[in-house]
């Protein structure tokens, strides 16, 4: 896969297919393979006539690992997303982020609205504004020698997931200590591109899709019945509705 230097940080990404560009940004502790390739999102979007770019966020996947929380501020990770478009020669893209990737996508859209033709915020809805606790608990769990050493259920789940994906847990701990920056209502109100907000009905991490969509002018909301944070990613309704949204807004 190709890589480039984003202000000195090496970022790996996937670039496949032809058509209007869609940039995929994965969630915390995941990577482009787990979030997008293994769930068949990349295949689906290519078949629908899109050029698919999928980034490995800094500290994740095959991108460079950093151990200073200051290097994971939302504006820096959003800049990585815009720079991959620069590197790939893409003038405008639809940006589709899941969970932490949704936060990055939102920050990137506000920072460079002229580069975005549509926005999909998934796996992080009203809690993009309200915020999510537990960052330090998750960081400490990632630094634990074994999942059995972690008492908190949510934190232990992240520790197990990081082990399953072969992630650099020290880098992830640094990331979680910095990356959950608040996104204001004013920032949400400033988004001026077609936007779809998606969340599972049972997803306590994401919060309400309707709640966030109400703050973004013209945004649409999709709640996935019976889905939680993990099961919402590859949901069939999720896929069909995102493709329909992109088809309706494509350049």
Q: Is the pLDDT of residue 125 over 90?
A: yes
String of DSSP letters for 125-183: STHHHH----HHHHHHHHHSSSGGG--SHHHHHHHHHHHHTT--HHHHHHHHTTS----
**Cα(2)–Cα(54) distance, integer angstroms:** 11
Q: What is the pLDDT of residue 248?
A: 98
Q: How confident is the model at residue 131 (pLDDT cuts 50, 70, 90)?
A: confident
Q: What is the pLDDT of residue 179?
A: 59
Helix orientation angle between 100-111 and 74-88, rounded to the nearest 10 degrees: 70
Q: How confident is the model at residue 251 (pLDDT cuts 50, 70, 90)?
A: confident
Which structural domains are found in the chain, ordered by start?
3-131+182-249 (3.40.50.1820)
Mean pLDDT across the chain, nearest whole number? 96
16 forms bridges with which residues in the sheet?
52
Mind listing the pLDDT tens digit for each residue in 51-104?
Answer: 999 999 999 999 999 999 999 999 999 999 999 999 999 999 999 999 999 999
173 and 143 Cβ atoms separated by less than 8 Å: yes
Q: What is the pLDDT of residue 132?
A: 80
Q: How confident is the model at residue 180 (pLDDT cuts 50, 70, 90)?
A: low
Question: Mean pLDDT over residues 19-25, rounded?
Answer: 98
Question: Mean pLDDT over residues 114-134, rounded?
Answer: 94
Question: Mean pLDDT over residues 132-161, rounded?
Answer: 91
């Amino acid at each position: 896969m190709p890589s480039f230097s984003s202000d000195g940080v090496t970022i790996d990404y996937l670039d496949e297919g032809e058509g209007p560009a869609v940039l995929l940004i994965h969630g915390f502790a995941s990577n482009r393979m787990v979030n997008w390739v293994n769930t068949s999102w990349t295949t689906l979007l290519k078949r629908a006539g899109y050029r698919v770019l999928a980034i490995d966020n800094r500290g994740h996947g095959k991108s460079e690992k950093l151990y200073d929380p200051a290097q994971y501020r939302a504006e820096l990770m959003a800049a990585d997303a815009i720079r991959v478009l620069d590197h790939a020669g893409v003038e405008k893209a639809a940006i589709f982020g899941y969970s932490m990737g949704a936060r990055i996508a939102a920050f990137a859209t506000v920072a460079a609205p002229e580069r975005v033709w549509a926005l999909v915020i998934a796996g992080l809805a009203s809690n993009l504004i309200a915020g999510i606790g537990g960052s330090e608990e998750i960081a400490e769990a990632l630094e634990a020698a074994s999942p059995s050493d972690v008492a908190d259920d949510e934190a232990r789940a992240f520790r197990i997931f990081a082990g399953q994906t072969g992630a650099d847990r020290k880098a992830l701990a640094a990331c979680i200590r910095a990356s959950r920056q608040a996104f204001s209502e004013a920032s949400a109100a400033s988004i001026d591109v077609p936007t779809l907000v998606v969340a599972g009905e049972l997803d306590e991490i994401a919060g309400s899709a309707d709640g966030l969509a109400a703050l973004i002018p013209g945004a649409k909301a999709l709640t996935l019945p019976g889905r939680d944070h993990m099961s919402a990613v590859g949901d069939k309704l999720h896929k069909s509705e995102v493709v329909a949204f992109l088809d309706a807004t494509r350049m």
